[in-house]
Structure 1
Amino acid sequence: MSKIAQQSIQTTIFSYCGVVLGYINVLWLYPYALDATELGTFRTIQDLGLLMVPFAQLGVGHGITRFFPKLEQNQSAFLSYSLVFSLLGFVAVSGIFFGFQQQLVALFAVNSPEVINFLGIVLLITLFALLNSVLDAYSRSYLKVAIPTFFREVFLRLLTSILIGTYLLGWIDFEQVMQGLVAVYGLTLFGVLTYLIWLGKIHLDFNWNHFPAGFRSSFIRFSLITFLATAASTLIMKIDSIMVSSMVSLEANAIYSIAFYMALVVELPRRAISQVAMPVIADHFAKNQIPAINGLYRQISNRQLYICLLLFALIWCNIDSIYHFVPNREIYQAGKWVVFYIALGKIFDVAFSVNSEILVFSAYYRFNLVLTIAMSILIIGVNYWLIPVFGIEGAAIGSATVMLAFNLVKYFYLKIKLGLDPFSRESFKILLVGMTAFTGMFLSSEAIAPMLLMVVKSLLIVSVFAGMSWLLGVGSEEWSWIKARLKKSGP
């Protein structure tokens, strides 16, 4: 775990730098520079493009992570093989996209007709994001996570800020903004590619005859089996936004997107830790080290839950103050409870730790496929039921409910099949500490400026959280790490 914590620290720093920049973009720049319809269009086109990435990738990302440890040489040939395989997937997805273009147009024609004008941009976003995801998986196999994270979390958002800023200054029109999205994803891909070339990890090698016997067939079989699970998982993440646009309006999607992004901060530690954990889990399975996997499973659960509960408390207790600084907050504050339900769903996800990653790299990866497809179908059905009744809050409630059900099934399956369990007495102590941190929500005063109130509440929440942690003896690993870093920074 110490190796993973050490590897993930740079990734976490870049992730949170991206969060700060993302907050500036989503909570101020976007709603200030774009009207609600333009913002809804902007987010819907991005979500459509990113939604198709896992379908085009054909599971290559997980395939690289699983099979990379089996290669002692020919890594460059493996990368070229993976890229060609995923490009074939892109060709297939493009064919389906053009074949069902009329149905796609009909989906948005009534409530969000503005989206139709920019559907041509979707595939270009898909192509660049697809190639970037393959290079990211390849880099991750070398445990080179931080720089690709920088390009994905920071560089991409910085370019987007510049793009929207030029629109705000009146130098380009909205159509050029949408076209500029293609350049943003293209430059991000170029950055990751340049980094890997600089590391000396990329060489043109199309000699695929020197792989171990049965390697290619096993890689393709595993990738094709897992791609549907990956695609369905992305569908679960992105379908809410698209369904809100098609069933309600682009303005509703703008409100939902801002709220969703606020809640997304809660799971950032999971994203940083799991990226480094995946190759370690794959290596443990290759060596049949089940007890080591269980230790990792439990330790990641505790660490994620401890950090994420604090983030949840800070966000929810300060939610009104946060919305105060959003331009046109009278429009966007309607998404307040979306933040709560989405964040709650993220807490469910982080508490159950890296169960999806364990399933993917275990002998039971086919179960993950069946389960994820079932969950994606369920979330669509739940959204069709709840959105007409509760609007955007219905989409958020559906997402949280499905996330809980999804993780419960995986939890019991791993417990029965492999004897793995992420929970312990420590888990319940962490839950208790996290619940006490929410006492900050009872502190409120209209006489205090929103910024000052946010500072006071945050200090109270952190103080209560730290005090209860000390009383119950939890979070010792995290506090020990902080003390060690403070000693190093001292004289």
Structure 2
Amino acid sequence: MNTKTSQSLLSTIFSYLGVAIGYFNLLWLMPYAMTPDHIGTFRTVQDMALLLVPFAQLGLGNGITKFFPQLHKRHFSFFTFTLFLTLLGFLIVSLIFFLLNDPITRAFSAKSSEILIFLPVVLVITLFAVLNSVADAFCRSYYKIAMPTFFREVLIRFLFGVSFLLYLTEWISFDQLIWGIALSYGITLVGTFSYMKLRRIFRLDFTFGELPKDLKKEFLRYSFISLLATTGALLIMKVDSLMVSSMIGLEANAIYTIGFSIAIVIEMPRRAVSQIAMPLISEYFNNKEHSKVANLYKDLGVTQVFVCLLVFIGIWANIDNIYSFVPNKEVYEAGKWIVLIIGGAKMLDVAFSINSEIILFSKYYVFNIVATVVMAIVVIVFNLWLIPIHGIEGAAFASFIALLIFNLVKYGFIAIKLHIHPWSWDLFKIVVLGGIVFGLQHYFFKNSQVGWTDLIIRTLFILLMYLTGAYLFKIAPAIQQKMWKKIKRTGS
């Protein structure tokens, strides 16, 4: 197994381990330890901070990945240069945040005034998270994605869980719990930097003045455009939560958060694939190997849909089982339909493969401005329209519509400019297979009693039928052949 493959595999394992810890925290520990208002406060503070991250980062993360292959022996001066810019971006965002204090106060004072005392925590989390995002980008450029994923997905959720337990046992107050969340981000940052130092990919080099002026100019221009694209993608992830808090209340946000977080696990394989795909796409475009980009576009589309659809079916088929384990489930299961709507939105995103990454690293990256403007307008307008009418389901529908339009715009642009697309017969066969498997499990288990037994048996049935169907339908035969060879090699 080569280094890139092993890093991707480890990253996927850590991602799902993080999901398991996150599920325990979100579906049991948090509802058991905290009131819905406290859960809503926790999530609103966290989402507000993470929404500021791309602005403070100035879009540098994707710029690092794109320009890294051109730097040769000046990687550390480039790293120091980006850290300097990141701190400058954070100072600018902090100043704007303080200047907007009055509008923020007015937006949340009516329905969610509790979060106003935690606005300083928002900036602390932003600082730690933005520095970590730059460190992640450099690790990704060296194809070292596994340990940063461990710190980002596993360690931080474990530290959150410790904080919740300390609050449950009354060792700390709720105010200290929120500050403890900021501390958790700080600890993960130290972990990432320590790993980089250990792997000898961390060193401060203040000779960044010697970097070519043309490269710095193009890097900053690209990063600014990337900022707009990244912000648009994050808007759909975070703005709905903030708007639910401000327009309905913190308890509604807690219900929405649990449903959204159950659904978001569907795209976890896509995130892991994207982490390793980005430097590859950058390298292919840099070497003018467009045919490899086209092949990657199709191959990853099939792989992502195959895995993510299995996860989606498993989650929605077991949705009553999942909510049965949540303390005070009568409060939180009102968000059950959020799982279906957001899950559908994430499957749409997965189906369009790596279109965002392709645009980002192509010569047409400026188009991200157009796509992001469309995205930002759609998600905010539809939230303002649908939340008053449909409540938390309205926020989910707004996300669904925004992701659909966002992906259609990007897909159309790639098809016109690069003449490539992610569609194949395998994708169609996967969708048909998914429908058959979901129908079969519903027929055989429709009268089953909710609980652990049904969860385990139903999940095993879905997994067996799905993998058997993939073999019979000859879905992605090249991938299957590789898997069988590895299995035979392991057994010999």
Q: What's the counterpart of residue 416 of structure 2?
A: 416
- SS of the equivalent of 1:52 reads helix
Q: What's the counterpart of residue 375 of structure 2?
A: 375
> Which string of whole-angstrom CA distances, capped at 9 and with x for unpartnered residues, describes residues 45-88 of structure 1?
00000000000101100110010000111111000000111111
Structure 1 residue 486, shift from structure 2 partner: 3.8
1:451 matched to 2:452:
yes
1:335 matched to 2:308:
no
Is the CA contact 2:324–2:450 (under 8 Å) kept in the aligned structure 1? no
> Which string of whole-angstrom CA distances, capped at 9 and with x for unpartnered residues, describes residues 284-305 of structure 1?
0101111110000000000000
> Which string of whole-angstrom CA distances, capped at 9 and with x for unpartnered residues, describes residues 129-165 of structure 1?
0000000001100000000000000000011110111
In 2, Cα distance between equivalents of 1:300 and 1:6: 17
Q: What's the counterpart of residue 131 of structure 2?
A: 131
In 2, Cα distance between equivalents of 1:220 and 1:356: 19
Structure 1 residue 215, shift from structure 2 partner: 1.2
In 1, Cα distance between equivalents of 2:106 and 2:330: 31
Q: What's the counterpart of residue 140 of structure 2?
A: 140
Which sections of structure 1, spanning at least 5 residues, go unmatched? none
Q: What's the counterpart of residue 428 of structure 1?
A: 428
The aligned amino acid for 2:37 is T
In 1, Cα distance between equivalents of 2:450 and 2:52: 44
Alignment of 1:226-305 (within 5 A): 226-305=226-305
The aligned amino acid for 1:460 is F
In 1, Cα distance between equivalents of 2:480 and 2:7: 18
Q: What's the counterpart of residue 32 of structure 1?
A: 32
In 2, Cα distance between equivalents of 1:484 and 1:240: 46
Structure 1 residue 321, shift from structure 2 partner: 0.6
TM-score normalised over the length of structure 2: 0.97
Structure 1 residue 470, shift from structure 2 partner: 2.2
- SS of the equivalent of 1:209 reads helix
Question: 479-488 or 76-85, which moves further after superposition?
Answer: 479-488
Question: 451-460 or 350-359, which moves further after superposition?
Answer: 451-460
Question: 476-485 or 111-120, which moves further after superposition?
Answer: 476-485
The aligned amino acid for 2:461 is L
**Identical-residue share of aligned pairs (%):** 46
The CA RMSD measured in Å over matched residues stands at 1.6
> Which string of whole-angstrom CA distances, capped at 9 and with x for unpartnered residues, describes residues 20-51 of structure 1?
11111111111111110000000000000000
Is the CA contact 1:156–1:185 (under 8 Å) kept in the aligned structure 2? yes
Question: 198-207 or 458-467, which moves further after superposition?
Answer: 458-467
In 2, Cα distance between equivalents of 1:6 and 1:199: 16
The aligned amino acid for 1:288 is K
Question: 442-451 or 311-320, which moves further after superposition?
Answer: 442-451
Q: What's the counterpart of residue 116 of structure 1?
A: 116
Q: Flag the 1:324–1:424 CA change in 2: closer, same or farther, 3 A.
A: same
- SS of the equivalent of 1:47 reads helix
In 1, Cα distance between equivalents of 2:256 and 2:116: 20
Is the CA contact 1:443–1:457 (under 8 Å) kept in the aligned structure 2? no
Is the CA contact 1:310–1:437 (under 8 Å) kept in the aligned structure 2? no
Alignment of 1:384-403 (within 5 A): 384-403=384-403
The aligned amino acid for 2:379 is I
In 1, Cα distance between equivalents of 2:218 and 2:105: 39
In 1, Cα distance between equivalents of 2:251 and 2:356: 34
Alignment of 1:439-478 (within 5 A): 439=439, 440-444=441-445, 448=449, 450-478=451-479
Q: What's the counterpart of residue 202 of structure 1?
A: 202
In 2, Cα distance between equivalents of 1:327 and 1:382: 32
Structure 1 residue 8, shift from structure 2 partner: 1.0
- SS of the equivalent of 2:422 reads coil
The aligned amino acid for 2:220 is I
Alignment of 1:327-366 (within 5 A): 327-366=327-366
Structure 1 residue 228, shift from structure 2 partner: 1.5
Structure 1 residue 117, shift from structure 2 partner: 1.5
> Which string of whole-angstrom CA distances, capped at 9 and with x for unpartnered residues, describes residues 168-189 of structure 1?
1110110110111111000000
The aligned amino acid for 1:426 is D
Equivalences, count: 491
> Which string of whole-angstrom CA distances, capped at 9 and with x for unpartnered residues, describes residues 385-410 of structure 1?
11111111111111112111111111
In 2, Cα distance between equivalents of 1:484 and 1:20: 30
TM-score normalised over the length of structure 1: 0.97
Question: 432-441 or 114-123, which moves further after superposition?
Answer: 432-441
Q: Flag the 1:251–1:478 CA change in 2: closer, same or farther, 3 A.
A: farther
Question: 441-450 or 163-172, which moves further after superposition?
Answer: 441-450
In 2, Cα distance between equivalents of 1:393 and 1:5: 39
